[in-house]
Structure 1
Amino acid sequence: MNKDRNNTTENKRDEELILGRNPVIEALKADKLIDMIFVNPEAKGSISLILKLAKERDIPVKQVREVKLDYMAGGAAHQGVIAVGACAEYVEVEDILAIAEKKGEDPFIIICDEIEDPHNLGAIIRTAEAAGAHGIIIPKRRSASLNHTVFKTSAGAASWLPVARVPNLAAAVDELKKQGIWIYGTDGAGENYSGADLRGPIGLVVGSEGFGMGRLMKEKCDMLLSLPMAGKITSLNASVAAGIFMYEIVRQRAIK
């Protein structure tokens, strides 16, 4: 029993939660940075105002059962609604490109396609920052956000590496391609990564943990790359695979 209580307490520390209708309404009115709002679809009254304000600010709303809200709140009163605050501001894709330009380097951008596990996103950010990537792009929906788990897993890298959060990942990729950036996707059916020329402006797409890249994102890629798999396991953790690809890019860029 004590262990369960400790886990619940740790869960509350892990994210900045705003519980209850009035607190969430005031946070929305004050333009507080909010990643997502969880609501019980059966809740009435001022919930409609919360949905309206969330729509105006383009904040994702996820409908969940009461038991999910009870678990998130750790026993505290939530009145059918919980908002999850972000730990940091997001940037625009243009800001990431500007960083590369200021450094006099070809853009090196990691594009996360529905990476929903915050531990994986944090690990990807950590490796990307160490590898010298200029930024990360994530979708607004169906993705982990910059919460405390991501910051902790990234070992502080999330404080240094810019993250852009876009409403349409495919459209963002189209814009990158217009800027002369080549888009490489990571997929088991792709070509062996060791034979690809990964120098120059590059955007590396990392697919989700369970399903890889979506069909549309695959179609947007200029090339699909794969890792050789000699064992019985046919796939790697998303962050591990991303790290291998990133450091192949680093290796090739170091060759004069």
Structure 2
Amino acid sequence: MAGNSQRRGAIRKAGTKKGPTVGSGGNRRRGVEGRGATPPAHMRPHHPAAKRANKAARQQQGRPKKTDDTEIVLGRNPVVECLRAGVPATALYVALGTENDERLTESVTRAADAGIPILEVARVDLDRMSTNGLHQGIALQVPPYNYAHPDDLLRAAANDHEPALVVALDNISDPRNLGAIVRSVAAFGGHGVLIPQRRSASVTAVAWRTSAGAAARIPVARATNLNRSLKDWADSGVQVVGLDAEGDTNLDDLDGIGPVVVVVGSEGKGLSRLVRQNCDAIVSIPMAGETESLNASVAAGVVLAEIARQRRRR
């Protein structure tokens, strides 16, 4: 009979109206409380607007961005040359749908071997970073260069059996000249390059590439005041030699056996007045023919080669 709890097998359920019930602890009361205003669509996890926003954020994270601390190298030849030179890049970007060739394949292979992240991005992202879209579907992100202190250059020379040989740059604004000079310093046994902090080329990806990897071995220091650094070096016994087409000392008469700092000026402006005053000698390169001057990096290489020749013969 229905409701007959005395029959065999009947069990009274706890919490029925015929017995004591356990309270909900307020759960049902909180359940009917209001949840506040409805959040915007892009903040609802499963809403299409939120999915679009998350996708855009993920794409934004992979886009190449040039900031004050990084530089973007564009183009297949520049990128592969940087990777060959051992530029410490932080990311390689390849546009989706880019046609493959030997340079692209080599770039990807070298980046993978060096542990550089390889990211595929939309072509429009690289278009924003270049002029007229001249990126050829590839870009390399390069971190800032870690400059040395001017005193570190002479300190490194003190640990070498050869006398100090340093090149200082005055009014050199082309990073290709800087990179070529760094390469010459490495080739002829120099100990470093000094550049002023302002109004000078810096170690960018272009300089890295031109140096053919020498920037990884030769320290480049930045001087807050180039004239003060040259004066301090001169007071410590280093010969400061300026290089100018109108110099009063012939390169053949230069004594490069002892510690030397070669100061190179720009092809157009030459040495500034204060830098010239701090030089012990102004050297000119003898030339045959009607050529008035050489490119700054070529002139520096000629003088470094002469100093290296003298030191080999001593």
Query: Could you say which TM-score interval applies, normalised by the shorter chain?
Result: 0.5 to 0.7
| Residues 1:72 and 1:215: Cα distance change in structure 2 (over 3 Å) | farther
Please list, as runs of the form range in 1=range in 2, the aligned pairs for 1:32-181 lying within 5 A after superposition: 73-74=129-130, 87-181=144-238
Distance 1:138 1:216 in 2: 15
Q: Which of 297, 301, 309 is the equivalent residue of 1:243?
A: 301
Q: Which of 11, 14, 17 is the equivalent residue of 2:66?
A: 17
2:50 aligns to what? Answer: none
- Paired letter, 1:197: D
| Residues 1:199 and 1:119: Cα distance change in structure 2 (over 3 Å) | same
- The offset of 1:129, in angstroms, is 0.7
**Residue 226 (structure 1) aligned with residue 284 (structure 2):** yes
2:42 aligns to what? Answer: none
- The offset of 1:209, in angstroms, is 2.9
1:61 aligns to what? Answer: none
2:124 aligns to what? Answer: none
The SS at the match of 2:176 is: helix
**Residue 214 (structure 1) aligned with residue 272 (structure 2):** yes
1:198 aligns to what? Answer: 256
Aligned 8 A contact 1:16 1:86 in 2: no
- Paired letter, 1:99: A
Bigger helix fraction: 1
Unaligned runs of 5+ in 2: 1-63, 72-126, 133-140
- Identical residues among aligned pairs (%): 41
The SS at the match of 1:100 is: helix
Q: Structure 2-normalised TM-score?
A: 0.56
Aligned 8 A contact 1:111 1:206 in 2: yes
After superposition, the C-alpha distances for 1:195-223 in whole angstroms (9 at most, x for unaligned) are 12111011000101321111111111000
- The offset of 1:16, in angstroms, is 7.7
Q: How many residues align?
A: 187
- Paired letter, 2:205: H
Structure whose alpha-carbon radius of gyration is higher: 2
After superposition, the C-alpha distances for 1:147-196 in whole angstroms (9 at most, x for unaligned) are 00000000000111001011110011011112110000001221211012
After superposition, the C-alpha distances for 1:114-136 in whole angstroms (9 at most, x for unaligned) are 21011111000001111110010
| Residues 1:89 and 1:194: Cα distance change in structure 2 (over 3 Å) | same
- The offset of 1:251, in angstroms, is 0.6
The SS at the match of 1:212 is: coil
| Residues 1:250 and 1:114: Cα distance change in structure 2 (over 3 Å) | same
**Residue 189 (structure 1) aligned with residue 263 (structure 2):** no
Distance 2:128 2:192 in 1: 31
Distance 1:202 1:230 in 2: 26
1:50 aligns to what? Answer: none
**Residue 252 (structure 1) aligned with residue 310 (structure 2):** yes
Distance 1:165 1:86 in 2: 17
What is the aligned-residue RMSD (CA, Å)? 2.4
Distance 1:153 1:182 in 2: 28
Aligned 8 A contact 1:199 1:252 in 2: yes
Bigger strand fraction: 1
| Residues 1:74 and 1:95: Cα distance change in structure 2 (over 3 Å) | same
| Residues 1:16 and 1:203: Cα distance change in structure 2 (over 3 Å) | farther
- Tell me which stretches of 4 or more aligned residues in structure 1 moved more than 4 Å: none
Farther-moved stretch of structure 1 (156-165 vs 226-235): 226-235
Higher relative contact order (CA 8 A, sep 6+): 1
- The offset of 1:75, in angstroms, is 6.9
